[in-house]
Structure 1
Amino acid sequence: MSKKLYDQDFKKWIETTIYQLQKGDFSSLDIYNLIEELTELGKSEKRALESNLMILLAHLLKLKVQQDAPSSMKDSWYRSIIEHRQRVQKNLKDTPSLKSYLETAIKKAYTDARKIAIKEGKLANFGVRIPQENESPKNCPFFQKQILDEDFYGN
């Protein structure tokens, strides 16, 4: 019955599962799907942190590498840094256990952030210098403390 409910009405399945847990009716629980959902929940929290770090790091890197970019471009990067740093802080506040994952998340996110910074750098136009790929360090040039510091902008 609960397998069908899970497939037919996810919201109702959640409500039923919560009710069963509250009443201690463990024998009626849809354990397989409950484990699946809890596992996925943990993964999604990590993915959200990595995604926000990726954008934050890409724009920190662009500010570091493209110091000669016009202020109109830099202003956009500054705004993005502010927004995504706030999101990272919120991720860490809402899920404190992510703090132990932060260093790993930074390493994972930086790989993609570097690719983004390089690709976007190649799109520069209107006389803006296109940075060389080797100007972007292969390893994250920022410390965790700097990444989380609301007054740090990488330049």
Structure 2
Amino acid sequence: MTNTLYHSHLQLWIEQTIQQLQNHEFESLDIEHLIEELVNLGKSEKNTLRSNLNIFLTHLLKFKIQHDVPDSMKGSWYSSVIEHRQRVLDNLADTPSLKSFLMEAVEKAYPDARQVAIKEGKLAKFGVRVSEDSEYPITCPFSIGQILNEDFYGL
């Protein structure tokens, strides 16, 4: 019954599982799917953190490497850094266990952030200098302290 419910109506299965846990009806639990959902929940939290770091690090890199672009181009970068840093801080506040994953998340997000920054940098217009790929560090040039510092913009 619970196996069928899990596949046909996930939200109802979750509500039922919560009720069973609250009532200490452990023998009735769909353990296999409960474990699967908990594992996926952990992955989802980590993926959200990595995704926010990816966008955030992309714009920090652009500030660092493309620092000579006109201020009119930097406006959206500032907004993105502010927004995604706040999302990272919220991720860490909402799920404190992610703090132990932060360094690994930065290491996983940075290569993609670097590639996006390089690709976006090559789209430069209006006489803006196109940076060489080699100008973008292979490893993340920002410390965890800088990443979490609300006044740091990579400049």
TM interval, shorter chain, is: over 0.9
Report how many aligned residue pairs link the two structures.
Answer: 155
1:18 & 1:141 partners in 2: Cα distance? Answer: 44
2:100 & 2:65 partners in 1: Cα distance? Answer: 29
Measured after TM superposition, the shift of residue 73 of structure 1 is: 1.3
2:136 & 2:96 partners in 1: Cα distance? Answer: 31
Q: TM-score, length-normalised on structure 1?
A: 0.98
Identical-residue share of aligned pairs (%): 63
Which residue of the partner structure matches residue 125 of structure 1?
125
Measured after TM superposition, the shift of residue 129 of structure 1 is: 1.1
Which residue of the partner structure matches residue 101 of structure 1?
101
Q: TM-score, length-normalised on structure 2?
A: 0.98
Q: After the TM superposition, which segments of 4 or more aligned residues of structure 1 sit over 2 Å from their partners?
A: none
What is the one-letter code of the residue matched to 1:147?
I
Which residue of the partner structure matches residue 58 of structure 1?
58
Q: Deviations over 1:49-98 (max 9, x none)?
A: 11111111110000000011111211110110000000000000001111
Unmatched 5+ residue regions in structure 1? none
Which residue of the partner structure matches residue 74 of structure 2?
74
Q: Where do residues 1-150 of structure 1 align in structure 2 (5 Å cutoff)?
A: 1-150=1-150
Unmatched 5+ residue regions in structure 2? none
What is the one-letter code of the residue matched to 2:21?
L
1:120 & 1:58 partners in 2: Cα distance? Answer: 9
Give the alignment's Cα RMSD to 1 decimal. Answer: 0.7
Q: Deviations over 1:16-50 (max 9, x none)?
A: 10111111111111111100000000011011111
